[in-house]
A and B are shown apart, each in its own frame.
Chain A
Amino acid sequence: MSGLLLAIVGLPLAGALLVASLGRQRFVDPARVAAIVAAAHLGLVLLVAGALGSGHSPLALDWPWVPALGVRFALHCDGLACVCALLVAVAGLLAILRADGSPAAAASGASGPALTLAAVALLQGLVLAADLVQLVMCWEASALATSLLVGATAGNAAGRLAARVGAAVAGGGGLALLVAVLLIGDAAGGYLLSHLARPGSVLRVYPLYPLLLALVLAAACSRLVLWPLQAGVPARSPAAAGAGLLHAATAMVAGLYLLLRLENALGGTAVWRRGLAFAAFATFVASGAAVLAGPEWLLVAWRRLLGLLQRRGADRRPAGAPP
């Protein structure tokens, strides 16, 4: 059963390589192959979800990877990971279906669907990771993959710039998370999530707890579009239909998953609660202020007003009068 976990990560990855190798030949449509792979992948995740739902114990898999650095290749799937994996699988399938046929997708050839599948595989690696270093690796790589995808399918310069800023912000968040994970490894004596699951976790009494918390929150904010890192998701890329959907949805999943996963080990303190509440409130205020102060808002409102006035004028025109 735990081989299924490997398949959930491996199938989209293999699919990405397959789609990328299709290139620009005319016989097989890369987007169609990618859609089939994504659908099969969703089926796999549903299979695991069904098993978990019917009372199967959480799936786990643990192999040594780099013993010298204490890094293991470990996957596990409990309820939280399974919900996130389902979200990622659905978002991946929808993104491939949505992008199919758009001019930007046609220009990118096989690269667009391949990159989408690779991003899905990396995100599944993120939510299924049982080793924190592996989580960081998937975090960084998936952020880069979805940002590249948005940049690749963005129709205009503003969208590409937004994707670039998004990649830098998410990459910076990944570096913050890397430092946080190294600190957690120092405090807990290992990078496995099971080290953190022990009751009375050592992290809350760790001398560098405030720094650790700040780093984790910064990483989460970079993916959750929370202030002050709200540039993480390129909101202003109008043409990035499927890619934008995947990027936005999966960034939310990744950020929320991180916070929920570390809640037991790090959360529960006043600093944690206040930090999160402050980030959310500041985002609320900042986005409100941006909408009010932005020139687009005034322009849109002015045009609406003009349109309304014109229509009212048209309504009042007597029948038979020239328009």
Chain B
Amino acid sequence: MSALAPALPLVLALAAGALLGVLSGAALPVRRAIAAGALALNLVLVLALVVLADRGATLALNIGSGPAGVALQLVLDRLAAWMLLITATVALVGSAYACGTGADRERPRFHACVQFQLFGLQGCVLAADLCALFLFTEIAVVASYALAARAHGAGWPAAGRRVMLLQLAGSMLFVGGIGCVAVALGSTGYAALAVGVPVTPTLAAARTAGGALVLAALALHAMLLPFAGWRARERTAHVPLVLLIVAGAYGLLRLDTLILPCIGGGPCGPLPAVVPLGLGTLGAGAIGALAVGKVRLLAFRLLLFPFGWLLIAAGSGRDLGFTAAIYGLAHAAVAGMALCLATDLVARTRGPRPAFALLYAGAAAGIVGLPPLSGFMARLAILGATVADALVVWSIVLGASLAGLIAVVRAAGRIWWNAPRSPTTARTVPRIAVAAVVVAVALQALLGLAAGPVFEFAGRTERQVIDRAGYITAALTSRP
């Protein structure tokens, strides 16, 4: 039974998505009950998987075996279980907020889209094969288009075309990379990639090129520096986007530790480009945050902060750096969600709302690293991990924090004061939506206050991921 465990959340999300798709004409409470039940069950399942994975075993499951070594392989280790927990939590809170604002009332297939996106994201997390990764990424991206279309409103068709073209380019890079790797090594499984050795120099070059293409595609999804500000105006910051970016960052972490270190033929270590890319992403976010005036655009720039930190941490050495990156995954998802929800909340309300301004300040303070939220701990760990390059890294990280702080204080003041004062224009926001934002901010605080145990878990995860042997053995010995 435990061999099938990694597939359970995927099966659940797929079944719930299909059921909700069929029942899209059913009464709203029925759909909500099914969706809430499925998301809660997913969270419980994933918690069980975290406990299972924390025992130290790596579970692998082969679903069928395709031609030329292409297989749908799922592998569950601590890092994957941690990421599953993050996606399940964010999906639950984000959906609760969307229900509160009536998103599912206007769009009958909203909950089905959420389930399909969760299916795609959790598949990305569990995938141990480049083909499977590509498949699940596309599912998640397509589902997020549908969700994003609502978040953007009337301006979506034109903006959406451009975003779709961008994602399509990413998919082409992805497919090209997979092709190169498959030709070079005869397989696309992570484990085969990690241990495989090309027989001729041409094939070795093909493997390097394939790795670079896959990396570029993931960077496009994770909005790394070259793609950080691209078409930023068309992309409102919303929860599905945050989840997509987190999944892209997770993919980078996984490839960075498992496959890519050895692709160049040199000693296995973090990619040299990761830290400069992270610093650049952070700098782009900081400059953008100072430059923009609107709250919605500011959220998009501030989102780059935790991802910049994450990359800096991932690239700066194995021990504390990678532990900080694993903590940073949770911080990025939770803080990004809190910021998106708080931004949406204040953008929906008219009239002076000091309490909402405070909520917004709380959500945004976490993302720029103010204590005692998770951002402070993540930044502290990154500063601790980059002592060797303190002058450059610390100046950029702390300078960006100061810029972000100025932008956040400015925005919070504007929300508090510049709203129209007459009570007649005040639009009420349902309590569920407000409660979801409060929960999101509280999750940030919880992650900060419980940083001790979380960092311990991250440390265990780091040792397992760096070891690689458990993952590779489990993946290579599993039978379909």
Chain A proximity mask over B411-426: 1 for CB below 8 Å, otherwise 0: 0110011000000000
A89 interface hit (Cβ, 8 Å): no
Known: A151-B416, A171-B402, A186-B387. A68 touches B358 (CB 8 A): no
* Identity of the chain A residue whose Cβ is nearest the Cβ of B377 in the assembled complex: A66
* Identity of the chain A residue whose Cβ is nearest the Cβ of B417 in the assembled complex: A160
B316 interface hit (Cβ, 8 Å): no
Closest Cβ of chain A to B458, distance in Å, is 8
Closest Cβ of chain A to B401, distance in Å, is 6
A108 touches B452 (CB 8 A): no
B354 interface hit (Cβ, 8 Å): yes
B406 interface hit (Cβ, 8 Å): yes
How many residue pairs bridge A and B at CB < 8 Å?
Answer: 104
Contacts of A239 in B (CB 8 A): none
B413 touches A111 (CB 8 A): no
Contacts of A178 in B (CB 8 A): 380, 383, 398
Pick out which of these stretches binds chain B: A49-57, A130-138, A225-233. A130-138
A66 touches B370 (CB 8 A): no
Interface centre among A66, A112, A148, A160 (most CB of B within 10 A): A66
A247 interface hit (Cβ, 8 Å): no
Known: A137-B371, A137-B376, A148-B361. A108 touches B354 (CB 8 A): yes
- Considering the chains assembled together, what is the distance between the CA atoms of A156 and B377 in angstroms? 36
B381 interface hit (Cβ, 8 Å): yes
A175 interface hit (Cβ, 8 Å): yes
- Considering the chains assembled together, what is the distance between the CA atoms of A179 and B371 in angstroms? 15
Given A68-B456, A148-B358, A172-B405, 15 more pairs with CB closer than 8 A: A23-B355, A66-B377, A66-B451, A66-B455, A67-B455, A68-B452, A68-B459, A107-B354, A110-B355, A141-B371, A144-B361, A144-B370, A148-B409, A167-B406, A175-B398
* Identity of the chain A residue whose Cβ is nearest the Cβ of B416 in the assembled complex: A152
Contacts of B242 in A (CB 8 A): none
- Considering the chains assembled together, what is the distance between the CA atoms of A174 and B452 in angstroms? 23
B372 interface hit (Cβ, 8 Å): yes
B294 interface hit (Cβ, 8 Å): no
B401 touches A20 (CB 8 A): no
Closest Cβ of chain B to A54, distance in Å, is 34
B281 interface hit (Cβ, 8 Å): no
- Considering the chains assembled together, what is the distance between the CA atoms of A108 and B354 in angstroms? 6
- Considering the chains assembled together, what is the distance between the CA atoms of A314 and B323 in angstroms? 80
A68 touches B455 (CB 8 A): yes
B468 interface hit (Cβ, 8 Å): no
Which size bracket describes the interface of A in this complex? 35 or more
B108 interface hit (Cβ, 8 Å): no
- Considering the chains assembled together, what is the distance between the CA atoms of A66 and B456 in angstroms? 9
Known: A141-B371, A171-B402. A107 touches B383 (CB 8 A): no
Closest Cβ of chain A to B109, distance in Å, is 36
A140 touches B371 (CB 8 A): yes
Closest Cβ of chain B to A75, distance in Å, is 14
> CB within 8 Å of A: which residues of B?
320, 323, 352, 354-355, 357-358, 361, 365, 370-372, 376-377, 380-381, 383-384, 387, 394, 398, 401-402, 405-406, 409-410, 412-413, 416-417, 451-452, 455-456, 458-459
A67 touches B365 (CB 8 A): no
Known: A68-B320, A141-B371, A182-B384. A168 touches B402 (CB 8 A): yes
- Considering the chains assembled together, what is the distance between the CA atoms of A178 and B401 in angstroms? 12
B394 touches A136 (CB 8 A): no
- Considering the chains assembled together, what is the distance between the CA atoms of A147 and B459 in angstroms? 37
The 10 A-B residue pairs whose C-beta atoms are closest, nearest first, are A137-B371, A111-B354, A68-B455, A171-B405, A66-B451, A167-B409, A66-B452, A175-B398, A168-B406, A151-B413
Contacts of B354 in A (CB 8 A): 107-109, 111-112, 152
A69 touches B413 (CB 8 A): no
B370 touches A140 (CB 8 A): yes
Closest Cβ of chain B to A104, distance in Å, is 11
- Considering the chains assembled together, what is the distance between the CA atoms of A111 and B416 in angstroms? 11
A64 interface hit (Cβ, 8 Å): yes
A160 touches B413 (CB 8 A): yes
A65 touches B413 (CB 8 A): no
A69 touches B387 (CB 8 A): no
Contacts of A115 in B (CB 8 A): 358
